[in-house]
Chains A and B, each alone.
Chain A
């Protein structure tokens, strides 16, 4: 079945770095766009970043632009999020999600989502 499994979360000091991974299985990874979304404790969902199937098109939320880098390895079915200059406000559960956008039609969604990995930024 289609599955996404995140890893790499943990406790890091402000200003530190962390790299998250998302392992995909059960579908043709290089056919799909992918996204990262985060959820701070007790808060709502915040989209973080998007990458096209080839990796050519990348978007970031303003809150992480210049600090986070999304990438993918289609040969290994892996999605990454390199997070630098981390701040306390980056503390959240980070989810990866398969992303579908039908350019000419209305079918657009994030599905499925991984189980999430917790990133805590604290001294």
Chain B
């Protein structure tokens, strides 16, 4: 099981934003992060906990292993307002997603 915190956060353009994903048991580094904008399909940002997917801006970064992981946006841009999901690939099935964190404009 994956939990995310916070569930919702308000931030301003230029802010540094950190989202946490916690696993109920150790999942090594088998974690991915996705961004989803309203009405659109999710988009892969990071896999293996910290590897940036090709084409994703470098302001996105991921870290962690075991049970605690973070997604950081170093300087929030207008296009980053979206919902972010983590997903575990350590023990499957199922390929569990976290409940999501919505980043909104302050």
Q: List residues of B whose CB falls within 8 A of some A CB.
A: 28-30, 32, 34, 36, 40-44, 47-49, 51, 53, 85, 87, 89, 92-100
* Inter-chain pairs besides A60-B93, A61-B93, 19 sampled, C-beta below 8 Å: A44-B97, A44-B99, A44-B100, A45-B85, A45-B87, A45-B100, A46-B97, A47-B97, A50-B95, A95-B41, A95-B42, A106-B29, A106-B30, A106-B47, A108-B30, A108-B47, A108-B48, A113-B41, A113-B43
In the complex, how many residues of chain A place their beta carbon closer than 8 angstroms to a beta carbon of chain B?
25
A61–B94 touching, CB < 8 Å: yes
Q: List residues of A whose CB falls within 8 A of some B CB.
A: 35, 37, 44-47, 50, 59-62, 95, 101, 105-116
Q: How many A-B residue pairs have CB under 8 A?
A: 73
Interface centre among B41, B85, B93 (most CB of A within 10 A): B41
- Nearest-Cβ distance from residue A104 to partner chain B, whole angstroms: 12
- Name 6 interchain pairs, CB-CB below 8 A, sorted by A: A44-B99, A45-B97, A106-B51, A111-B44, A111-B53, A112-B41
B28–A106 touching, CB < 8 Å: yes
Main secondary structure of the interface of A (DSSP, over half): strand
B53–A59 touching, CB < 8 Å: no
B48–A106 touching, CB < 8 Å: yes
Give 5 nearest A-B pairs by CB, closest first: A106-B48, A108-B89, A59-B93, A111-B44, A113-B41
- Nearest-Cβ distance from residue A36 to partner chain B, whole angstroms: 11
